[in-house]
Homo-oligomer: A and B are copies of this chain.
């Protein structure tokens, strides 16, 4: 799905409708830069928190998967996470104290695997949808009208927002946990 020859293009993707393709082009680019920003990080680096309210890079990575999962439920199943799903994803969704407690000790591959799994599911589901679906309007934040295009744009823009924080954090990893892998 991540065609590196088309990574700087917003255009058609075989098997998907035109507007869904454009959205996916942006999602692909965002994910590509996320993976670039964490390349080579060790578990210790992924767990590092710079101060008492800081999220770790690892928890931000899991946050991307959790947000995407939540929007799958919201836009395809018209529901929020149930209790069981919240047990699994709550810490990654809410971050903060819970995230610092529960999300640690994982290798980079762990996060990448989950991110890919959730993304594959999204793209399977997009295959069944049309541009008309993307433009369906529903009440969303602040009782304002939104469409699925915007909601999925929000998923990628939230990732980009936190990618900015990942880059910031990576530059500030303490020397003693900075490995040669970069």
> Which A residues lie at the B interface, using CB under 8 A?
5-11, 19, 22, 25-26, 29-30, 51, 53, 135, 137, 140-141, 144-147, 149-150, 153, 157, 160-165, 167-168, 171-172
Contacts and interface: CB of A to CB of B under 8 A. Distances in A.
A168 to B, nearest CB: 5
Given A153-B26, A160-B160, A11 B165 contact: no
B51 A172 contact: yes
Contacts of A164: 160-165, 168
Contacts of A165: 164-165, 168
Contacts of A30: 157
A8 B53 contact: no
Given A160-B157, A163-B161, A146 B9 contact: yes
Contacts of A171: 53
A29 to B, nearest CB: 7
A172 B52 CA distance: 11
A141 B8 contact: yes
A5 B26 CA distance: 24
A161 B167 contact: yes
Nearest to A151: B8
A6 B157 CA distance: 17
A47 to B, nearest CB: 18
A150 B10 contact: yes
10 contacts: A8-B141, A8-B145, A25-B150, A26-B157, A29-B150, A30-B157, A157-B157, A160-B161, A163-B164, A165-B168
Given A8-B141, A10-B147, 7 more contacts: A6-B145, A9-B147, A10-B153, A51-B172, A157-B160, A160-B164, A164-B164
